[in-house]
Amino acid sequence: MKKKILIIAGGISKERTISLDTGLQVLKELKKNGYSVKISEPDSNLSKNINQFKPDIIFNALHGQFGEDGYIQTILEGFKIPYTHSGVVASSLAMDKEISKKIFIKNKINTPKYIKYSFEKNNFDLIKIIEKKLKFPVVVKPINEGSSVNVFICTKKNILRVINSMKIYKQIIIEEFIGGREIQVAIMGNKKLGAIELKPKRKFYDYQAKYNVNAKTEHIIPVSLPKNKLNEVMNLSLKAHKVIGCNGVTRSDFKFYKNKFYLLEINTQPGMTKLSLVPEIAKYRGITFIKLIEWILKDATTKK
């Protein structure tokens, strides 16, 4: 008999819509293949839904804050039911862009130079610091959001206006802008699943480029790289997966510039929508969507 699966989707992060889409795609695929499946919001009814439905495995389809930062993982630990993707610590480390960068640097993984800016503490001359440490243009991003939510490429002219619009975050990352190619790599447990290159029509692979079908981002697979460089970026992705302590499937986002790879971030809960990259990479490798989901579910039951 097939296992009972509870999917947690939605939430209150800015990635709610993407989470619901992921949850719905997974729900449809599991139902189509004979599983008993329910979907639940991570709200005050979650505990009741879990206790009534009594799932064998919980599929965490949440994205963003409270969904992939260790928060919901901490709650799920209390139910003693296997749940998908990474655990509390790895989720927390990967979601914090400053901490994850420090881990990458310590493990000799190239990542763009950065400074952290705190609205509560910093009163230094920001433009002078940027010109000295990073140079313009720079990338401004929240310290703990995903899906390129509120990520901006800034020049000297608009940096202060953009930063003032981000005070809701308390802390932000200001990062050197790396040009070049967008390469994304998927890891499946300890297996290097594959890579894909993205050519967005927009300035960079932002939220609209990721999720708007009209953005017309070009997906290129296989990636046109010399074999040694492709192996290099795949190995870097697996290394990042391991040093953060991830489980299940992850996707690492790189820029390839002047023959060097720069790791921007690692995603512990990649999307499973129709435009998502991990299912596309898996399909290219001969792994159907249902087989990918079933592997993720099985991996949840072997988590340490």
Is 67 annotated as catalytic? no
Catalytic: which of 11, 13, 15, 248? 15
Cβ neighbourhood burial of 167 (10 Å; 0-12, 13-18, 19+): exposed
Is 169 annotated as catalytic? no
What is the 8-class DSSP label of residue 83? B
Residue-wise DSSP of 207-241: HHHHH-GGG-PEEESS----HHHHHHHHHHHHHHH
Catalytic: which of 10, 144, 271, 294? 271
Catalytic: which of 83, 91, 247, 251? 251
Sign of CA dihedral 294, 295, 296, 297: positive
Catalytic: which of 267, 276, 280, 294? 267
Is 120 annotated as catalytic? no
Is 267 annotated as catalytic? yes
Residue-wise DSSP of 37-79: EEEE-SSTTHHHHHHHH--SEEEE---STTTSSSHHHHHHHTT
Catalytic: which of 92, 147, 237, 252? 147
Is 262 annotated as catalytic? no
Q: Which residue has 């939430």 as its token pair?
A: 11
Is 248 annotated as catalytic? no
Is 165 annotated as catalytic? no
Catalytic: which of 68, 69, 206, 253? 253
Catalytic: which of 96, 182, 197, 265? 265
Catalytic: which of 211, 237, 247, 299? 211
Is 253 annotated as catalytic? yes
Catalytic positions, please? 15, 147, 211, 251, 253, 265, 267, 271
